[in-house]
Amino acid sequence: GENVEQHPSTLSVQEGDSAVIKCTYSDSASNYFPWYKQELGKGPQLIIDIRSNVGEKKDQRIAVTLNKTAKHFSLHITETQPEDSAVYFCAASGGTSYGKLTFGQGTILTVHP
Amino acid sequence: GAGVSQSPSNKVTEKGKDVELRCDPISGHTALYWYRQSLGQGLEFLIYFQGNSAPDKSGLPSDRFSAERTGGSVSTLTIQRTQQEDSAVYLCASSLLVGGTGELFFGEGSRLTVL
């Protein structure tokens, strides 16, 4: 089955700096790669996703890149703000069931004011 | 309701007891998922319901775990003869299957503690 590795497990940055979280996956059949943000006591919330026919996608301060050859994808957050502090999860899935996801272990991002 | 609703939010039980966790998905969402999140870990897929099709149970960790979805809406996850390793947050999510983006909408979870 699919295996997703996520690094780093914790990331601490100053407000205004950029943050990068990286994930690798093992199953070359995976074709959907979402990123979820989880705040304390809440369920995860989708912040951005990318499909395998696209190499990069941006949404305001957030971008995701995908390298299918190397089987890795990354989340980039620019101009970080304290409210970006949360746990971020990458995930991967394949086939027709986009919701049957294999998640990474999560990254605790702390943005210091 | 506006979002996915789960109950109870917290459940403490004794080892060996059975527990039921409930999920009420977003109205109109045809797909429903259960995930488990252990302390400090990522989310682990358990089971997936898609419309009227047979559920995908490939993630259930043992035969003590079962789930049903009645009338294509509310779902119940049942854990029989609970063990301490079952302690976790159980998250339910729903999504549109046709015409949707694949986005999962998660509830806030049911935190299960087995003593």
**Where does A1-113 show beta strands of DSSP type E?**
4-7, 10-14, 19-25, 30-38, 45-51, 56-59, 62-67, 72-77, 86-94, 102-103, 107-112
pLDDT at A98: 75
- Chain B residues lying within 8 Å of A103, measured CB to CB: 42-44
Percent of chain A with pLDDT over 70: 98
The angle subtended at Cα B100 by Cα B93 and Cα A90, nearest 5°, is 55
pLDDT at A86: 98
Classify residue A7 as exposed, middle or buried by CB count within 10 Å of its CB (0-12, 13-18, 19+): middle
State how far the Cα of B48 lies from the Cα of B31, in Å rounded to an integer. 7
pLDDT for B1 beyond 70: no
pLDDT at B52: 82
Closest Cβ–Cβ partner in B48, B91, B101 for A100: B48
Give the number of other CB atoms < 10 A from CB of residue A59.
10
Angstroms from A18 CA to nearest CA on chain B:
23
Q: Do B95 and A44 touch (CB under 8 A)?
A: no
Helix (H, G, I), strand (E, B) or coil at A8: coil
The 10s digit of each residue's pLDDT in B46-63 is 999 988 888 999 999 999
What is the pLDDT confidence band of residue B99, given thresholds at 50, 70 and 90? low
pLDDT at B101: 66
- Chain A residues lying within 8 Å of B104, measured CB to CB: 34, 36, 44, 46, 99, 101
pLDDT at A8: 97
* Tokens read off for B59: 């993630």
- Chain A residues lying within 8 Å of B26, measured CB to CB: none
Query: What are the residues whose beta carbons fall under 8 Å from the beta carbon of A22, sequence distance 6 or more?
Result: A6, A7, A72, A73, A74, A75
Query: What are the residues whose beta carbons fall under 8 Å from the beta carbon of A66, sequence distance 6 or more?
Result: A33, A50, A52, A54, A55, A56, A72, A73
Please give the average per-residue pLDDT across B110-115, as a whole number: 97
State how far the Cα of B83 lies from the Cα of A52, in Å rounded to an integer. 40
pLDDT at A37: 98
Please give the average per-residue pLDDT across B77-90, as a whole number: 97
Query: Nearest 10 degrees: CA dihedral of A34, A39, A42, A47?
Result: -30
Tell me which residues of chain A have a C-beta less than 8 Å from any C-beta of chain B.
Answer: 4, 6, 32, 34, 36, 41-46, 49, 89, 91, 97-106
The 10s digit of each residue's pLDDT in A52-107 is 888 999 999 999 999 999 999 999 999 999 999 999 999 999 866 778 899 999 99
pLDDT for A26 beyond 60: yes
Angstroms from A15 CA to nearest CA on chain B:
25
pLDDT at B51: 83
pLDDT at B25: 95
What is the pLDDT confidence band of residue B88, given thresholds at 50, 70 and 90? very high
Q: How many residues does chain B have?
A: 115
By C-alpha distance, which of B74, B47, B90 is closest to A99? B47
What is the pLDDT confidence band of residue B98, given thresholds at 50, 70 and 90? low
State how far the Cα of B17 lies from the Cα of B59, in Å rounded to an integer. 22
pLDDT at B5: 97
Average pLDDT over chain B, rounded to an integer? 92
State how far the Cα of B38 lies from the Cα of B21, in Å rounded to an integer. 16
